[in-house]
Amino acid sequence: MKLFNIQKVAGLALVLAGFVSGMYAQEKNDAIVIFNQGVELMKANDPKAIETFEKCIALCEQIGDSASDIRSKAVSVVPGLYYKNAYNLLKTEKNIPAAIASSKIALKVAEKYDDPNVVVSAEQLLIQSYTSMASDFITAKNNEKALQAFDSVLMINPEHLPSIYNKALMYRSMSNTEKFTETIDLYLGKLKAAGDESKLEQPNKVARDYFRVAGGKANKANKLAEAVDLLTKASNYGLDNNLCYQFASVYNKQKKFDQAAEYAQKGLDLEPQTTPESKAKYYYELGTAQAGKGDTAAACESLKNAMYGPFIQAAKAQRTNMKCQ
């Protein structure tokens, strides 16, 4: 953002000094003197410039209309100076709390003096400051404070999608399923509303993996109804090979062999790798489902294709039991 043009402001101040007249000449001259002092301080990057310009504005308001031109020029400079101070605190001094406090002041001053450019810049700086603060809290494993920092960003801009997504990731790390679901769904909804289809894949995968892993744990613990519920939630975010495998495994345990065979085949179709080892787990579940349905010939063939890696012994035992050739 172009905060101010020092040469232009200084030049105007000199011209103004040459045209003062009338009954309020002395008062206006005083205002011009203070204004010019502010310009010199600003050129020297002296923080007292803000105080000087504010003094000039106050004096101009006491004088009235005859000093309105000087007031306007001082007002055009002051919000930018406040912003510059906040910017330096964040970018140069890396003092995040001070930068936040200073940005809030810059925002109020910009609103007071009706400077929309500084309003936008101050809000952006606040967002950057709170985001940096959240990152520091995450590093310190202070999740609650980090969430509060992201919420502060969203109070400034409810459509700040990175903060919504980061909150979802935090809830995931905290295993807060309810809040994770609520937040990731909010994020996905806003992406869809914006028509930003290119960004949907990653958050969908994050949500799908979250519920798939939870479903896999429930499956391993033989909590099959819970596993199906979690895997179904995962499928709301799309289907992939690993999710299909978990579905096939759970449905085989429930003796729902048609569903198991369907998902085992989908897993095979979606598996990105082509090696026999990568496909063995799907063939094992497919063979188990086919055996459960009484299709021995197909089961023997599928289980033969499953005899790789960790599935060798289990597939071999099933083939022996079915007297496969």
pLDDT of res. 5: 42
Q: What is the pLDDT of residues 58-87, one digit of tens each?
A: 999 999 999 999 999 999 999 999 999 999
Distance CA 155, CA 152 (A): 5
The encoded tokens of residue 302 equal 């599928």
Distance CA 93, CA 90 (A): 6
**From residue 307, how far is each of 12, 241, 278, 325 by CA, in Å?**
87, 19, 11, 14
Quick check: 79 and 106 in contact, CB under 8 A? yes
pLDDT of res. 24: 54
**From residue 243, how far is each of 119, 180, 231, 239, 263 by CA, in Å?**
48, 19, 7, 6, 9
Q: Which of 26, 30, 50 is nearest to 38 (CA)?
A: 50
Q: What is the pLDDT of residues 25-50, one digit of tens each?
A: 778 899 999 999 999 999 999 999 99
Distance CA 237, CA 185 (A): 10
Angle between helices 257-270 and 241-253 (to 10 degrees): 160
Residues of the chain with pLDDT under 70: 1-24
Distance CA 45, CA 177 (A): 51
Q: Which domains does the chain have, with CATH numbers?
A: 6-157 (no CATH), 158-238 (no CATH), 252-325 (1.25.40.10)
Distance CA 24, CA 213 (A): 79
57 φ, ψ (degrees, to nearest 5): -60, -45
Q: What is the pLDDT of residues 3-12, one digit of tens each?
A: 444 344 444 4
